[in-house]
Amino acid sequence: MTDQQLFQCACEALKMAYTPYSHFNVGACILATDGRTFQGCNVENASYGATICAERTAVVTAVTQGAQAFSAIAVVGEDAPAWPCGVCRQVLNEFSADMRVICGAAKTGEYQVVKLSELLPHSFGPHDLQQ
């Protein structure tokens, strides 16, 4: 799957976002190393701390369907890029510090591609807990 196709998949997920408070819709699509894709969108909650980001929704969906190795994720905001927050960066790092992060805006169709390790340098991950 190309970065452009993954970006478009995230744009589709964006349409399902539940954002009655911020009205900032985000969609994500994560690519498993076996070629499967899993979509996610942000789901807000009146208790703001219970809100879940699109990236984590995609990861949880993938894991519940047996995927635990990922090569890329696309994250899309409607009018502006929606870079993964710190919590999402940490969750993604759990599975692959080398995954590509494709981030952009649905309206313009423009995106950037970086490695997760660039977004979360000096990370703490599974390798730190192995003895």
Distance CA 106, CA 69 (A): 26
**Distance of alpha carbon 129 from alpha carbon 85, whole angstroms:** 23
Say whether 55 is catalytic. yes
User: Out of 12, 55, 78, 110, which one is annotated catalytic?
Assistant: 55
| Cβ partners under 8 Å of residue 13, min gap 6 | 27, 28, 29, 39, 40, 41, 54, 58, 76
**Beta carbons within 8 Å of 47's beta carbon, 6+ residues apart:** none
Q: At residue 28, what is the residue type?
A: A
Q: Which residues are known to be catalytic?
A: 55
